[in-house]
Amino acid sequence: GSGFLAAMAEGEALVSVDYEVSGKVQGVFFRKYTQGEAKRLGLVGWVQNTSHGTVQGQIQGPTARVRELQEWLRKIGSPQSRISRAEFSNEKKIEALEHKDFQILK
């Protein structure tokens, strides 16, 4: 039936979502690994350290791929990191990507 096609279309729709990851996520190459994972998944956006010890950023791309990176941010991260919490906010559908690639912001 149409369920499969609807799911495919849903998975291909572009979304934008903001994230903030807490825990031991600074000084452990978290941004570098996040950038690598995002590029592997073909996502765009950015990542940066905050002044209060977390890592935050934005992810944009096909819904299914964004979900994969969200899962990675929640559970995996960089080898030395210890993630206590990953929060996602401002999720919205977008017509086109607003970033050219996935950048590490200082």
Residues designated catalytic: 31, 49
Pairing of strands 44-49, 82-93: unpaired
Please tell me the distance from the alpha carbon of residue 38 to that of residue 25, in angstroms, as a whole number: 17
CB 80 within 8 A of CB 29: yes
Rounded to 5, what percent of the chain is helix, strand, coil? 35, 40, 30
- In sequence order, the 6+-apart residues with CB closer than 8 A to the CB of 49 are 26, 31, 55
